Structure 1
Amino acid sequence: MQQKAQAHSVDAPSPGGERKFLRLFAEMKKSKHAYVLMAPFFLIFAVFTVVPVVMSVLLSFTHFNMLEPPSWAGFDNFARLLVKDDVFLVAVKNTLLFAAITGPISYVACFFFAWIINELPPKPRALLTLVLYAPSISGNTYMIWALMFSGDSYGYINSFLMNWGFVLEPVQWLQDTRYVLGILILVQLWLSLGTSFLAFIAGLQTVNRTLYEAGAIDGIRNRWQELWFITLPAMRPQLMFGAIIQITSSFAVAEISIYLLGFPTVDYAGHTIVTHLIDYGTIRFDMGYASAIATVLFMIMMMTNVLTQKFLKKVGE
């Protein structure tokens, strides 16, 4: 009897867990109208984001050429990535270096410019926001940079250097492996004031001004203390959103490399994980291998996201 009672007590759900479930169900029932309004978004998000990610992870363990049914491959694709594919390792090195430089600099630049612009009157603030945001949505960006770094004497940079006697002949900026990655980083930094920049401006506008008055009473004496102890903690949602955007844009770089340097780049100097993915996914149609590349990139981005969240939680401490 005692054993049966013990077994029954182990199998039975804990009262605390049942109360939490009932409380959660009651809250969901109370907010049912909000869930109904959010349902279309969640449906679209699940169909076009969650399902493709899950399918990509599953396909990464198969051989699939889009003409024949997938066949099980196990970890062959991942072993091939890490052991046999030297170009992938070059792409990983380029991508990590690119992300390590452009990610933090772009993130800080977005917040710094948003913080400065937020102090201006409404009309100058709106004008400067438009001016700084415009490069990220301009359609002729790559044409401008291609003209600047053109390898002949008509390129703006070559023309300047030759006229002032710094070089005697044109420099092949977009063909020399010493400059390719640096040019990509420069262009990305120029384009970096995008969605994160707008999110930070919106977040700064929503900070409760009474917090600054309370902070002055509590001993805050300068703007840097206001920034660290009041502004940044009050903007944690926007900071997290901006971090996700910057992580995504830094690791998913491909368009700049393709349109500015061509595909593939010289000696794979500007090759990234995403351009490698495009190569196998849209040109060779090796979807199993391309899915393995996408899965590795997804894991790298998730780990970076977790580290960023841990760092942002310490803001204001």
Structure 2
Amino acid sequence: MNTGWTGKLKKHKESYLLMMPYLIFFILFTILPVILSFVFSFTYYNMIEPPRFIGWYNYIRLFLDDDIFITALKNTMLFAFITGPISYALSFLVAWMINDLSRTLRSIATVVFYIPAIVGASVYPMWRLIFSSDAYGYLNGFLMKLGIISDPIAWLVDKKYVLIILILVQLWMSLGISFLAFVAGLQTIDRSLYEAGVMDGIKNRFQELWYITLPSMVPQLVFGAVMQIVTSFSVAEVSIELAGFPSTEYAGETMVTHIMDYGTIRYEMGYASTMAVVLFIMMVATNRIVNKLLNKVGL
């Protein structure tokens, strides 16, 4: 009896056939680009000449000769370690709070909290108006009316304020896919577990949360963590729309905007691929650390 991979392939051939369209697109548009990025990162490639192998030169240049990349790396790490955990915790907290509402109220609340993630791109003009550099900007006008400031502040131009504002706006848009996953996950928990918990001595909602809710939502918690990591490390649009491209003294530069600069403007695809590889490794490493932390706390 053939029990190897060929036997399994024949036994489940219908399942593999159904998966084939997805697998083809996944390989072509996910796996292959990642592999090519690794390959091109060791080359000089300007999209006109054939790629030319240059070894580790791009990596040496990246960390030792590119001051803007170091700025982008610091900004990306700040985004990741501020917006990531806060957004993750906030997504779960809001989902948990609205979970016991009636179905209609829960649906309405879900839409209300999810709207910023949907319409985020369309309300950038509103944010630019709020943080406008003249006296007609809402924030400047409000602070001047209270007498806190006497002259308008260039919020989106002054490098002291740019990154703080970008982080605040990103947090406002943070209830995304992970929030929906948590809402769905909370609805799938067997209600009899809570009844059994009461019999076993659980006395309040927080014990219920720790001993029943969180262990019952491991797949959703892991999925939410992965999505938050990807989102927090790939910040670019909010920086481009509010701070400009490039921002003042690169105060709002992130790794993705730096990749876009070299990849879509300068056409230095080899160097851009090097940055993409570094970003990919950072995401994978952070994901492993987060999964270990979840496992350590019993999730």
> If the TM-score is normalised by the length of the shorter chain, which range does it land in?
over 0.9
1:73 aligned residue: 54
Decide whether the 8 Å contact of 1:228 with 1:316 is kept in 2: no
Q: Which amino acid aligns with 2:188?
A: T
Alignment equivalent of 1:297, drawn from 279, 282, 295: 279
Partners of 1:120 and 1:276 in 2: how far apart? 44
- Report the Cα offset of residue 140 of structure 1: 1.8
How do 1:249-268 residues align onto structure 2 when only pairs under 5 Å count?
Answer: 249-268=231-250
Percent identical across equivalent pairs? 55
2:254 aligned residue: 272
Partners of 1:236 and 1:306 in 2: how far apart? 15
Structure 1, unmatched stretches of 5+, are 1-18
Distance 1:241 1:81, change over 3 A: same
CA deviations over 1:136-185 (Å, ceiling 9, x no partner): 11142211111100011111111110111111111110011111000010
Three-state SS of the structure 2 residue aligned to 1:179 is: helix
Distance 1:274 1:229, change over 3 A: same
Alignment equivalent of 2:165, drawn from 172, 179, 183: 183
Q: Which amino acid aligns with 1:54?
A: I
- Report the Cα offset of residue 24 of structure 1: 7.1
How do 1:109-188 residues align onto structure 2 when only pairs under 5 Å count?
Answer: 109-138=90-119, 139-188=121-170
2:185 aligned with 1:203: yes
Partners of 1:316 and 1:70 in 2: how far apart? 48
Alignment equivalent of 2:70, drawn from 89, 106, 129: 89
Higher mean displacement: 213-222 or 54-63: 213-222
Structure 2, unmatched stretches of 5+, are none
TM-score (norm 1): 0.90
- Report the Cα offset of residue 216 of structure 1: 2.0
1:4 aligned residue: none
1:7 aligned residue: none
Three-state SS of the structure 1 residue aligned to 2:159 is: coil
Distance 1:312 1:56, change over 3 A: same
Partners of 2:31 and 2:283 in 1: how far apart? 16
- Report the Cα offset of residue 127 of structure 1: 0.7
Partners of 1:230 and 1:40 in 2: how far apart? 38
Decide whether the 8 Å contact of 1:232 with 1:316 is kept in 2: no
Alignment equivalent of 2:269, drawn from 277, 287, 298: 287
CA RMSD of aligned residues (A): 1.7
Three-state SS of the structure 1 residue aligned to 2:129 is: helix
Q: Which amino acid aligns with 1:200?
A: F
Partners of 2:18 and 2:206 in 1: how far apart? 41
- Report the Cα offset of residue 39 of structure 1: 2.2
Distance 1:32 1:314, change over 3 A: farther
Q: Which amino acid aligns with 2:285?
A: M
Decide whether the 8 Å contact of 1:57 with 1:292 is kept in 2: yes
Partners of 2:204 and 2:147 in 1: how far apart? 48
- Report the Cα offset of residue 23 of structure 1: 7.7
Partners of 2:183 and 2:296 in 1: how far apart? 22
